[in-house]
Structure formats: C-alpha cells, structure tokens
Amino acid sequence: MNFAEAEKYLLSLGAEISAMKLGLENVTELLREIGSPQKKFLKIQVAGTNGKGSTCAFLESICLEAGIKTGLNTSPHLVSITERVRINGKEISKEDFAEYATAIRAASEKLLKNGRLKAMPTFFEQVTAIALQSFADANVEVAILETGLGGRLDAVTAAKAEILVFTPIHLDHQDILGDRIEKIAEEKAAIIRPGTYVISSAQPTEAMSVILNRVAEFKVPARFTTEVETEISDGKLFFRTTKGEYQNVELGLLGRHQIENALTALLAAEELQKYKPISAEDIISGLRKAKHEGRLEFKGQFLFDGAHNESGAKALRDFLDEFVNQPITMIFATMKDKNLEKIAEYLFPKADLLVLTEVNKHASISKKRSMPAEKIANVASRFLPSDRIIVTQSVNEALEKTIQITPRESVILVTGSLYLIGEVKSCLCHTSSS
C-alpha cells in the first residue's frame, strides 16, 4: 500500500471510540505475531482525562534534551495520521508509515485467516502496532505512549509499560467509561499492575482514592505531585522534590494548568533517572522547549485550544480571563457525547462573535459524532444575543465567514474539539498553498 491506500484502509476499520472492543486479546496476539517489539525498550504509559498530550510533550522534550533516543505515540492527530508516531521529535515519514501499515495489515489478515483472531484488529490497535514496531526498528531507548481512551481496554496497555503516569481525571466519555469520576478512575487505574511504578498528578478525591487503593493492592511504589514544593516569582517557577531542586523554570506551554502537567512530567523524568542519565538542567531545558500543537497555540491571529470537556473549557476560560484582552471571534464545534451546557457556560460568554459549525471532513471520526451546529446554537442563545451567533454547515464556511467578519485586532479562537482544530489547520494550509 502507498500512504493514501494505507490511510484509507486504516480508517475503514472504524473510529477509535466506535471500534472499541472488550479485551486486549487481539492487540496482544498481533504484537506477538510481529515479534513483541514492545519488549525492546522502556515504556511510559500516560493515562488521564486532561493533560495527557501536554505531559507527553514535556516528557519527550526532557528526554530529547538528555540525548535519549525517544519514541512518542499520541492521539488523536490534527492533520496527518503520521503525527501519531514520532521518533526523536520527528514524525514518521508517509513512506515509512505506509510500509509499516502494509506489514501490520498482512499480519492481521494472517491471524484472522488462521483463526487466531476473532475479529480484525481495529484502527487504534493497528496504529499502536505500527508505532511500537517502528520504535523497535529505530532502536529507541524510551517510548512514551499516550492512552487513547480509558486504560483497561486501551490498545497501548498491551505494551505493559514499566512507568505509569496519571494526569488529572475528570468526567469525559461518560457513555463509555461511566458517569461518575470513581468509575472513570477505575477504568484508567486498571493499568496498574505488579512491577510498575506510578506517578500521579493531583486528583479529585474520588479519583485519588481509586489510584491509592490500586497502588496498595499491588504494593507498587508511587509518587504524587502534591509532594512537590512549588513557588512562582516574576513569572519563573521553582520546584523542590525529594530528589532535587529546579530553579528559574519556564514552561514552553501556555496556561497555569500546565504547571501541574510539568510537575507530573518532572516526577516521571526523575523516575527515568534510574535507567538513563537525565540532569536537572535537562529537565529545566526540556520543560522550556516543549511544544504541543492545538493546546493554547498561537499562530498569527489564531489561537487554537482543544478544550473538549468541562475541565478543559475551564482551563481555557481561566487563560482568556488572565491573558487575552482583545475581542474574540470564537469558532466552535463539539462532539455529541460532550457536556455542551457546561462547556458553553465557561466559553461562550467570552465570545464577541460566536461562529458555530460541525466537523465534516476530519478523517478520524464519523460525521455522526459531530454535534449539529443548530443544536449548539440553541444552547448558545442562553449566553449571547442572536446577532452575535452565526451558524454554518461546514468548517470551511465557518473559516471563510470568520476571516471576513473579524477585525484585525481581534483574536480568532478555534476551540471545542481537537478534530475541529485539525480541520481548520488543514483548511488554512490549503489556502496558504493555493
């Protein structure tokens, strides 16, 4: 398969959420068939609701500063599926991705034909196998694996990471993971097993209780960001842990909520020091140089931030209140399974103009998952007068309308869904290259 054929094939297997199946048997058998590549390097699995991607970005940056050959597997992607697989800070090439996808497809079809699998491995399972095999072939020393959804049944859990990192756990994907924080935490904390080491961000009481119980059950060591002393002075951070001090720390990612993600990555890096040489200077420099697209990312007049759930929307609102003084034109779309009312309560009052749309073309999702713009408008009318709300039927239409009506001194905020950000970025790239 060439790249276009590989992408089409993988997407035909179903979206990440709709394709979830019970158990890890399929992906485990697939990894065994291709030689268990996950056993050839140290692994860090990052699970949680918010901050996973940012914590992975901080960790990758720290490892690269320390000269550690590093693999990074994240989801979702914004524009190209190749974003999901990075080696030493660079995306896998389309040619290499296609080559690995072809091999993984052949292995999957063989297993299915021989009756060793009951169903074809899903999109997420096969992309996970692609990432792990490419990491092994590149002789990476450390792989950072972002959990896609939940934890207990997530494909990356089959890699059996040695270090487990938990970012803040909140309500999200309630239709799949449960409608209480305890239930969601149980799904995510299920990745804890004997022989692992646990790092956790500060958590809601219900989530922390679940993590602590699991840690006690399997008698595994754990560290928590609540144990770290933090000071802020003149925009610089100071961290003191039981293992070291970090002075004049600046973060490459914007927003006060990134302090917690940075602390989580710092503790994970200190655990990595048992395996690899990482200095305090590497950690400080890595935190400063970290980049993460689509999370409080400024590009000219545009500000991109996923803010796809209640806690993410609150973090974005806090940032806007503190740092953005210009008028805001907001392009917004979300998925049907999100708590629109709470997200709207935080974000819509900040919009001078609100342009609503729905994700149409992003390759990772079915259009059926995108919430109709008219439904969002009904909720938006509680917060804004009708003359400040514009409904569009496509992202391209929303972008054209926004650029047409937005004054130069305003910020164009794209938010509500990482899928929306991906489609807007794709439209902007197409426009600039035309």
Question: How large is the average pLDDT for residues 326-339?
Answer: 93
In the listed set 289, 318, 346, which residue is the last one of a domain according to the structure?
289
What pLDDT shows up at residue 9?
95
Q: Same domain for 48 and 153?
A: yes
* Domain endpoint, select from 260, 289, 318: 289
Nearest to 351 by CA among 393, 309, 311, 379: 379
Same domain, residue pair 241 and 366: no
Do 284 and 303 sit in the same domain of this protein? no
Q: Is the pLDDT of residue 18 over 80?
A: no
Is the domain of 302 the same as that of 174? no
The Cα-based distances of 47 to 56, 161, 182, 200, 300 in angstroms read: 10, 11, 15, 10, 32
pLDDT tens digits along 173-230? 555 555 588 989 999 999 999 999 999 999 999 999 999 999 999 999 999 999 999 9
The answer to whether residues 330 and 270 belong to one domain is no
Average pLDDT over residues 314-330: 95
- Residue 76: pLDDT above 60? yes
pLDDT of 396 above 70: yes
Of all residues in the chain, what percent carry a pLDDT higher than 90?
81
Q: Dump pLDDT digits (tens) for 79-90.
A: 899 999 999 999
Q: Mean pLDDT throughout 124-130?
A: 96
Write b or e for each residue in 162-188: b if 16 or more Cβ atoms lie within 10 A of its Cβ, otherwise e: bbbbbbbbbbbbeeebbeebeebbbbb
CATH number at residue 250: 3.40.1190.10
pLDDT value at residue 278:
98
Tell me what pLDDT residue 432 has.
Answer: 58
Q: Are residues 214 and 88 in the same domain?
A: yes
Is there a single domain that holds both residue 228 and residue 330? no
Domain co-membership, 311 together with 267: no
Question: How many CB atoms within 10 Å of residue 381?
Answer: 13
Q: Do residue 279 and residue 331 come from a single domain?
A: no
Number of CB atoms found within 10 A of residue 252's CB: 18
- Residues 10, 152, single domain; the answer is yes
What integer is the mean pLDDT of 404-433?
89
Where a domain ends, among 289, 315, 332? Answer: 289
pLDDT greater at residue 171 or residue 297 = 297
Q: What is the mean pLDDT of the chain?
A: 92
Domain interval for residue 333: 297-433
Q: What is the mean pLDDT of residues 47-68?
A: 96
| Structure confidence by residue, pLDDT tens digits, 247-271 | 999 999 999 999 999 999 999 999 9
Both 317 and 221 in one domain: the answer is no
- The pLDDT assigned to 19 comes to 45
For residues 228 and 166, the answer to whether their CB atoms sit within 8 Å is no
User: Which CATH number is 424's domain given?
Assistant: 3.90.190.20
Check whether residue 278 and residue 315 sit in a common domain. no
Say how many domains are in the chain: 2
Name which residue leads in pLDDT, 76 or 250: 250
